[in-house]
Each structure stands twice: as structure tokens, then as C-alpha cells.
Amino acid sequence: MMRQKNRLPIGSVLSCCAVLFSSSVVMAQQNVPSESIDVINESVVTSTVSFLASDEMRGRDTPSPELTIASSYVAARFLGAGLKGLGESGSYYQNHEVKVTKVSAGSLKVSRDGDAVVTYGLLSSSDEAMDYQGRVRMVTDDNASDEKYDGPVCIVAEKFQSRRDQSNLMRRLARLKESGATAILVQVDPDHRLVGMASSSGAPRMQTGRESNSGHVVLVEKGAAEGDYELSLPRQMQATATVRNVIGMIPGSDPELGKEAIVISAHLDHVGIKGNVGDIICNGADDNASGVTAVLSLADAFAAMPEGPKRTVIFMTFWGEEKGLLGSKYYVSNPVWPLEKTVANVNIEMIGRPEAGASGKCWSTGWDESDMSELMSVGAKEVGVLIFQHPQFSGDMLYRSSDNYPFAQKGVIAHSFSAGSLHEDYHMPGDESQKLDFRHMTKVIQGLFAGTLPMANGEFTPKKK
Ligand SMILES: [Zn+2]
């Protein structure tokens, strides 16, 4: 309901207030250059986040061609802002090879009594392809049984109600394999969560180290029964894919302070595709196209300063956050700027969908770890943005679950700034740009600029508490 408010027609009471408000804001900006505030505008914010969260980006999974395109867009914007590349050979890219598995989905075939059975991909595979003709045993309850199998079996998966249901099923699959099942067909509804976890498109999937390659597990339509089956199950191939952090900087204008850097960052990746019916694209508009948009607008804003910041400011987007903070972990192990000369990391996560009553407000995670958020709140106030300690989210839990944390573990003062909510569309196809509050986002980015500026100019240096 909050979101609707921003769509009131121009001329409404609300937009009159907004005009009054913004003029009072301009008057209060004594130390914040108006050139910088002007380039953080709703038009640029809206178009940037809408592109990054478009369906064509297919949820920016790690690795995916779309994540690569998104990183190339970030690099193009860094170039446009005049940033200096801090990646390989002067480019903006810090490349890394990750191991992936691929199956050629086209070669997956299941038929029963001569009729094709619909398949939804492979949950796990094997280094050997498998061709089989013969009976497939239906197994309804194997929980207590110590029965042995010597061929393929078929089970029915109920919908997951909880994580426990999911781990129960994984245990059940493992038991069946141990009992001799040479392949397992799992009957599911097309919108079952497992479908989103299967290799169906032939796209490479990152190896997590937890996957089993001990046998074929195939998702099939519900209703298949015992009969004469013909199975053609492809092998899994090992390959590599290139992923990249995108890194650019504005060198500090002060000869001494310029040796110190502030890193402003956000993760570019999201969770890709879920399921295979209806809207399957997890757009990740709030999580975290909104944060990347902030990084790009902040790069524009720092670049627009009449005199550049005294400290060096580094702008960065990460791959693989959703897979376990992988891009930021990679960066802190391979930093392009000495970590002991990195004064702070301002990481930005989910600023597009404010909680009720929190429009234009922003909070940080791990508030009590350092005095940085409090110090930043002073500057943010100058443009009318409140940076506050959130009663629920400013604690330890979220502090450890985003890209600021690998920096913090290396001793860099690092917090994630968020102005969102844990909404029902979190990690779902419904996290779309139409649901974002662009005006709120714009204001919060201006606040983050005004809050970071004194630190970038060496007016304060955050300390651990
Ligand atoms: Zn996120």
C-alpha cells in the first residue's frame, strides 16, 4: 500500500509537499555539492534498476550469460562516470574461473510403454551416461525397509512445506541409492521447488561441492506408473565459467589521504530461474538491482564533485553473493587495494521497498560493531535522510549474511546499508521493478552520498566500538 502512494498524479497534495520538502533540502545542503545531488535523480535511478531487473536478465544467476551482460553494463557506466579501472590490465574486471557442471538436457529422454514421459530436468547426474530398457519399480514407502534394488526406481515427491521436508527427501534419495537403485525418477508437480533446482536448460551450474554425482535423479511428471521404461540419461560434464567483480575508482585528490580508500559495493547477482510454469524469473529488483543502482549513482555523484574526494573511492559489484558471498570473499583474498589502507566498506543491499512509514529512511547491519553508521547519519541528515539503528535488522544476523562480512572478517570496518524490508517477494519471481519505490530509492541514495562524503573527504575515520 505504501508503494501506491508514489503513483499519485502530479498536482496531488502529496507532490506539492514533495516540492516544498525538496526545496528545504536544497537550502540545508551547505557542504554537499548540488552537482552531485543533481545526478542522483529519479529518472536515472528508475531506468537503471528497471534494466538490471528486466526479464531479459533472467535473474542474473552465477554464472550466466545475463550476469556477464549485467557486469558489462556496470563497466560501461563506470566508463561513463570516468572511473579508472582497477581490474586486470587496467580494465574494470576482476575475472575468476569457477567450476561448473553441464548436462545436455536435449539428450534426456524417458518413455513408458512407448509413450514419452514429461521430464523437468536432472537433480543429479553421473559422469557416465545411462541407457536402460526394462521395468522401473514404484517405491511408495522405503522409510523402514531394508529392501535392496538392482535397477531404476520411481518415487512421488510431495510439496515441501519446510526445509525439513527438503532434507527428508534428500535423505530418502541417498538411502535409495545405497540400497542399489541405479537411477531414481522423482514425480513432481511442474511448480515444485525441486524443478527450480534441476538442470533442465542445459545451462552450466556452479559446483557447490555438496552436489552428488553418484547417480541420475530425474524429475518427471506425476502419474507415471510401473511399466516398461526406456531411459536415456545424459552424463554430467565438468567445465569452467568466468565470473567477474567489476571495480573502478576515483583517485583521492589529497596526496596523503588519497592512499586510503573507501569501497562502495553491492552484489550484482541474484538467484536466476525458479520452477518452469508461469512467471519463473526471479528478477531481483530489490535484491539487489536496487543496491547496484545505488553504486552506479554514487559513482556518478562522486565523479560530479567540483573537487574530487580527498580519499580514494572504489566502486565495486560482486558475483556469487547468493551462492555464499563468493565474489566478496574472492575480492578480500585478492584485493586490488591494500585492505589495511581500506578505511571502510559501505555495502548496499535492498533499498527499493521501504517498510511502512520508513520512506526515505535507511539502516545498517551490525550497527554496534563500529561508529561508522552513526557518523554517516550526520551527513545524511543534511539532505533529509535518516540513517537509523533498526530494532530488528541492525543486529548481528544480517551483518554476517552479506558482502560486508568478508571485509569485516579481514578487519575492515564494513556494514551493509538497507532501506528495504524482508517482503513476501524476497527471492521470488515477484521481486520486480514495478514494485519498487523509485522516489524513496533516489532519496536514500542521496542520503548515502551525503553520509559517505565526510568520510571520503577525511573528515572522519570510523573506529571499531
Ligand atoms: Zn541481497
Residue 362 parent element (H or E):
strand 361-364
Are 366 and 449 within one domain?
A: yes
The answer on 132 and 88 residing in a single domain is: no
Q: Residue 23's pLDDT is what?
A: 40
- The residue to which cell 549513482 is assigned: 297
Q: How, if at all, do strands 312-318 and 115-116 pair?
A: unpaired
Task: Tell me the CA–centroid distance for residue 286 and ligand 1, in Å.
Answer: 8
- Residue 144: pLDDT over 80: no
Last residue of a domain, one of 210, 235, 260: 235
Task: Please check whether residues 375 and 261 belong to one and the same domain.
Answer: yes
CA of residue 351 to ligand 1 center, whole Å:
10
Instruction: Please tell me the distance between residue 17's alpha carbon and the centre of ligand 1 in angstroms.
Output: 32
Domain CATH for 126: 3.50.30.30
* 324 and 443 together in one domain: yes
Which pLDDT tens digit goes with each residue over 318-338? 999 999 999 999 999 999 999
51 and 133 fall within a common domain? no
Among all chains, which residue has been given the C-alpha cell 548496499? 348
d(CA 302, CA 314): 10
Residue 358 is which amino acid? A
Cα-to-centroid distance, 402 and ligand 1 (Å): 7
**Distance between Cα 448 and ligand 1 center (Å):** 18
Distance 107 CA to ligand 1 centre (A): 35
CA of 125 to the centre of ligand 1 (A): 30
Q: Which of 111-120, 251-260, 267-276 has the lowest mean pLDDT?
A: 267-276
Structural domain contains residue 461: no
Give the per-residue pLDDT at 105.
Answer: 62
- Of 235, 253, 273, the residue that ends a domain is 235
**Residues 161-203: tens digit of each pLDDT:** 777 888 888 888 988 998 999 999 999 988 787 887 776 556 6
Residues at Cβ < 5 Å from ligand 1 ion: 287-288, 349
Instruction: Tell me which of 28-32, 235-239, 258-262 is least confident.
Output: 28-32
- Asked whether residue 409 is assigned to any structural domain, the reply reads yes
Q: What is the CATH number of the domain that holds 82?
A: 3.40.630.10
Measured over the CA atoms of residue 218, residue 219, residue 220 and residue 222, the dihedral's sign is: positive
Give the count of domains, the chain. Answer: 2
Q: Spell out the residues 6+ positions from residue 97 whose beta carbon is closer than 8 angstroms to its own.
A: 240, 241, 242, 243
What's the pTM?
Answer: 0.82
Give the range of the structural domain holding residue 293, as residue numbers without chain letter: 2-99+241-456
- The CA 427 to ligand 1 mean position distance, Å, reads 9
User: How crowded is residue 214: how many other Cβ atoms within 10 Å of its Cβ?
Assistant: 14
C-alpha 225/C-alpha 330 separation (Å) is 48
Domain shared by 321 and 391, yes or no: yes
264 pLDDT higher than 70 = yes
Same domain, 41 and 81: yes
